[in-house]
DNA sequence: CAATATTATGAGCAATAGCTCAGCTCTTCG
DNA sequence: CGAAGAGCTGAGCTATTGCTCATAATATTG
């Protein structure tokens, strides 16, 4: 009843089932369109067309184009399920297995729609807020891995902070490229070697220090 | 004298010094603008403005916006100077030093303008031709590294193809992220650990195989 | 079955971008 | 000097895109 000039968030909440469905349709369509055309060429009209709704309806659910991609990103982050440290075997002699589990996690979390993911983080003009969200999750993940390294008896690297950062980055990013590119190398082989590399790094050895 | 309707390449060749200078000015301006605004928001008008020439002149040197970025990319690739295998010490016990040289190479080649480089390969709509050029250089680099691994007596990994691919990707991409991000970790530490990781991987060890 | 709230529609506005072209200025050279 | 061609100019055309709004359709409620 008061202030008659809001309209910051188009549509407060969907009240009917129909609305929920439409919202989902938009997101699904957007995922397809962005994935196929990229962010810039993935126009809102194209998204509406694919969702089989009018462009006007689309803008009742999202205040602008960026918000659509933001919703997709948040959804992806929320879905991302990494195995927790307490589900892992930390007894001596199990480092190789532990690392392999981490690598597999990364691959699983990127297998859904690698192309879309790439576009979300590489092409999209992420708002500061979104960037912060992504960053927060990244830092959390690094801290988690750092903690794991600290607990595992087989780990012999000294600079745990750098190691954790390096590992997360390496695993994440190699997975990215692996999924996005037309595989130049079989996934299993790549997975095995990537795990090997990380494992050997963590074991430390006499040649480097 | 014949066919009066070409005009595929605006401006065949600069005949006067002035023209060369203008061309350079455009490229320099474009590098700045793309680097600051990104590809989409780096408009041709902005580039012309920064180069202090008219928009019309710009289009006498480049047929379209993409061509400008293509020129920048080609230039970067051409400039990229990787140390050759025959400049490296391949005697036993030198693997750590060799790897460190490779890592340093990567960092050097990205230190000029990391932001621009990121935009060139991540945001730009590269033509198939350009993609091929990039790809060709990538493959060449991988082959080079594979060869190096095969020659070096300290290398104990068996799957050289996968190893080469993995190393190039890892080093390249870690460097990327390192330069682009507001450093969360000092460069030297990261460089050292990255080199350590690769070195230990190549040495192989008893824990993995 | 009204009356009201919610959801859907799509023509079209405003902004912006890539790019053209008719004509100008400057350089070159006999 | 002066003519011819190389190089430069920038208003503005064309196309596209994100997004609005007046209106209609559908759902809900009393």
User: How confident is the prediction along chain B (209 residues), in pLDDT tens digits per residue?
Assistant: 333 333 346 666 777 888 999 999 999 999 999 999 999 999 999 999 999 999 999 999 999 999 999 999 999 999 888 888 788 888 888 999 999 999 999 999 888 888 999 899 888 888 888 888 888 999 999 999 999 999 999 999 999 999 999 999 999 989 988 887 777 788 899 999 999 999 999 998 655 65
d(CA A72, CA A161): 31
Judge whether A130 and A73 are in contact, CB under 8 Å: yes
Select from 1.20.200.10, 3.40.50.2300, 3.40.50.620, 1.10.10.60 the CATH code of A17-74.
1.10.10.60
- Of A165 and B182, the structure prediction assigns the larger pLDDT to A165
Write the CB contacts of B57 (distance below 8 Å, at least 6 apart in sequence).
B22, B48
| Chain A residues near residue B123 by CB distance under 8 angstroms | 122-123
Q: Quick check: B17 CB within 7 A of strand D? A: no
Nearest to A193 among B125, B166, B205 (CB): B166
Quick check: helix, strand or coil at residue A14? coil
| pLDDT score of B158 | 94
A80-203 folds as Tetracycline Repressor; domain 2 (1.10.357)
Tokens 């970067």 sit on residue:
B76
Query: CA of B155, closest CA in chain A: separation in Å?
Result: 12
Q: What are phi and psi of A107, to 5 degrees?
A: -65, -40
| Chain B residues near residue A197 by CB distance under 8 angstroms | 166, 170, 197-198, 200-201
CA-nearest of A129, A51, A131 to A60 is A51
Residue A198 host element (H or E)? helix A187-203
Q: A194: nearest CA in chain B?
A: B166
Write the CB contacts of A167 (distance below 8 Å, at least 6 apart in sequence).
A102, A145, A198, A201, A202
Torsion angle in degrees (nearest 10) through CA of A127, A129, A134, A135: 110
pLDDT bucket at A36, cuts 50 / 70 / 90: very high
Quick check: helix, strand or coil at residue A48? helix
- State the nucleotide closest to A13 in CA–C1' terms: C6
Q: With 0-12 CB in 10 A as exposed, 13-18 as middle and 19+ as buried, what is A184?
A: middle
**DSSP string covering A64-126, please?**
SHHHHHHHHHHHHHHH--PPPGGGS--STT-HHHHHHHHHHHHHHHHSS-HHHHHHHHHTS--
Give me the residue spans of the domains in chain A: 17-74, 80-203
Tokens describing residue B63? 């047929």
Cβ separation A205–B208 shorter than 8 A: no
Please report, rounded to a whole number, the percentage of residues in chain A having pLDDT higher than 70. Answer: 92
pLDDT at A12 over 60: yes
pLDDT at A3 over 50: no
Q: What are phi and psi of A123, to 5 degrees?
A: -100, -30
pLDDT bucket at A1, cuts 50 / 70 / 90: very low
Tokens 């690094």 sit on residue:
A142
- State the nucleotide closest to B63 in CA–C1' terms: C19
Cβ separation A190–B122 shorter than 8 A: no
CA dihedral over B69, B70, B71, B74, signed as positive or negative: positive
Angle between helix axes B187-203 and B160-180 (nearest 10 degrees) is 170
Q: Quick check: A55 CB within 7 A of strand D? A: yes
- A60-111, pLDDT tens digit by residue? 999 999 999 999 999 999 988 888 878 888 898 899 999 999 999 999 998 8
| pLDDT score of A205 | 64
| pLDDT score of B1 | 32
Please report, rounded to a whole number, the percentage of residues in chain A having pLDDT higher than 90. Answer: 63
Angstrom distances, CA of residue B157 to CA of A101, A106, A118, A170: 22, 24, 31, 19
The set of strand D positions with any atom below 7 Å of a protein CB reads: 6-12, 16-22, 26-28
| pLDDT score of A7 | 39
| pLDDT score of B2 | 34
What is the CATH number assigned to the segment(s) B17-73?
Answer: 1.10.10.60
pLDDT at A178 over 90: no
- Of A102 and A12, the structure prediction assigns the larger pLDDT to A102
């Amino acid at each position: 009843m008061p202030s008659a000039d809001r309209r910051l968030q188009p549509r407060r909440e969907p009240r009917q089932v129909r609305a929920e469905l439409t919202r989902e349709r938009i997101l699904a369509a957007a995922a397809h369109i962005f994935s196929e055309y990229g962010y810039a060429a993935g126009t809102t009209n194209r998204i509406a067309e694919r969702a089989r709704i009018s462009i006007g309806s689309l803008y009742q659910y999202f205040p602008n184009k960026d918000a659509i991609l933001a919703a997709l990103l948040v959804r992806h982050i929320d879905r991302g399920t990494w195995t927790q440290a307490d589900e892992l075997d930390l007894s001596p002699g199990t480092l190789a297995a532990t690392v392999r589990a981490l690598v597999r996690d990364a691959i699983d979390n990127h297998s859904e729609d690698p192309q879309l993911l790439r576009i979300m983080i590489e092409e999209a003009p992420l708002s500061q807020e979104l960037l912060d969200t992504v960053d927060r999750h990244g830092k959390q993940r690094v801290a988690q891995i750092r903690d794991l390294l600290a607990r595992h008896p087989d780990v012999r690297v000294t600079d745990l902070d750098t190691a954790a950062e390096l590992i997360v980055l390496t695993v994440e990013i190699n997975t990215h490229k692996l999924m996005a590119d037309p595989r130049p190398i079989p996934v299993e082989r790549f997975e095995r070697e990537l795990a090997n590399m990380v494992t050997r790094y963590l074991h430390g050895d006499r040649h480097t220090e």
